[in-house]
Amino acid sequence: MKRIMALVAIAALAIPFGVQAQDAKAGEGVIKASGCLKCHSVSADKDGPSYKSVAAKYKGQADAQAKLEKFVSGHHGGPKPKDKAKDAVAFILSR
C-alpha cells in the first residue's frame, strides 16, 4: 500500500513537470521565430537581458510565469504566433 501511494505521488509530480518541459521546448522555436534573439541570448546580455538572468531574477516567484506572459505579449511585437507567450516564457524561466 505504501508503495502504491509513493507511485501515485511520483506520477502526480511528474505530469506537470512533463508538460512544462514540453512548453519550454516549443518555446525555443517561438523565440527563434519571433526575432527575440536579435536582442536576447540565453546566457549573455545583449540589448536585452540574458534569459538566464531573467530566470534568476524571477526564481521562486510564484507569479513569474503569468507576469512575464503579460510582459512578453506586449514587448517588441510579442511572440509569433501571438498565443504562444506561455511557451516562450516557459523556455525563459527554465534556463
Q: Any contact of residue 63 with ligand HEC (CB under 6 A)?
A: no
Q: Any contact of residue 90 with ligand HEC (CB under 6 A)?
A: no
Amino acid at 93: L
Q: Any contact of residue 65 with ligand HEC (CB under 6 A)?
A: no
Q: Any contact of residue 78 with ligand HEC (CB under 6 A)?
A: yes
Residue 9: phi and psi, rounded to 5, are: -65, -45
**Nearest to 95, CA basis, from 48, 25, 36:** 25
**In this chain, which stretch among 1-9, 11-19, 29-37 interacts with ligand HEC, using CB under 6 A?**
29-37
Q: Any contact of residue 88 with ligand HEC (CB under 6 A)?
A: yes
**39-72 burial, b if ≥16 CB within 10 A, otherwise e?**
ebebeeeeebebbebbbeebeeeeebbeebbeeb
Chain residues in the site for ligand HEC (CB under 6 A): 31, 34-36, 38-40, 47-49, 54, 57, 68, 71-72, 75-76, 78-79, 88, 92
